[in-house]
Structure formats: structure tokens, C-alpha cells
Structure 1
Amino acid sequence: MEIVPTVFAVVLVILAIVLSVVGVQMVLVLAELKRTLQKVNNAVETAETKISGLMQPLQQLGGAVSGVKTGLKVFEAFVGWINKNKNE
């Protein structure tokens, strides 16, 4: 019996086993990656919700400041009108 076909068969079996183990490990790594990405996605969604909750009052505050600014302009115009009538 020749040794080359026997060595070839043994090497082929070992290679098949190694590739099977590598394939299983890749599946496990991809499953872990999926779980990690889901956790990251949940964290990002939570952060987005919190930031949105913080931004809403700030936007309302900006609207209030704009209203006060407009009110001050009206008041200045009124005072200017009173001073103009006083001088005449």
C-alpha cells in the first residue's frame, strides 16, 4: 500500500475538521456581534429619547425668550412714541 494516498486522506480529514471548527466559531462570533449591536442600538435609542426630552424644554425656553424680545421691542416703540408726543 502506498503512503501518499493515506497521508492525503488524513490531511483532508484534519483540514475538514479544522474548517468545521472555524465555521462554528464564526457562527458564535457573529451571534455575539448581533447581541452586542442590539445592546448598542438600545443604548443609542435610550440616549436619543433622553436628549429629545432635554431639548423640548430648551426649545420652549427659546420661544419664550423670543416672545420677551418682541415684547421689549413693542415697549421700546411705545416709550419712543410717548417721548415723541411729550417733546411736541
Structure 2
Amino acid sequence: MKRKYGLMSIILCILGLLLIYFNSLSQEGIIGVYFFIGIIFWIASIVLGIGGIALKEKGCLKYMGILIIFLILIGYALLIILFAITGFGA
């Protein structure tokens, strides 16, 4: 039986994103347990995506979980750069 690494990668990526978002809502800027579980889900998503690539799973779903995570990280990096350029709102 073939496993669906790509589909599981996307599901874990989205769940990790939701958990990190819920962390920002629940506690006023304090890093909580949701944040760390979200990061663990992201790492598991990357591992499953790489597993799907290594096993030559058909389709492009195996790349989507990794792509979503890297796009989010690029977005955060751009925010930090833009804040630095504008002087952090000063």
C-alpha cells in the first residue's frame, strides 16, 4: 500500500500554520505550547515532503508542503527587512 506523503505534508503544514496563528491570538505575545507544536508540525511536514520526493511519489503534492513553509519564512524575512529599512516605525 502506497502512503500519501504529499497529502500528509500539506495537512501538517496547514495545521502547523493554524497552531502558530492561534498562539498569537491566545497569549499577548508570549510564546506558548501552540507555537512549539506548530513548529514540530512544520518540521514533520518537511520530512514527509522529502520522503515523498525520495520515494518518487507521483504528483506535485509532495512539493507543496515544503513550498508553503518556505513562502511563509520568506514573507517573515521580508517583513523584518522592511521594518529595518523604515526604522522600525520611528
Normalised TM-score (structure 1): 0.34
Quick check: which has more Rg, 1 or 2? 1
Question: Looking at both structures, which has the greater relative contact order when contacts are Cα pairs under 8 Å and sequence separation is at least 6?
Answer: 2
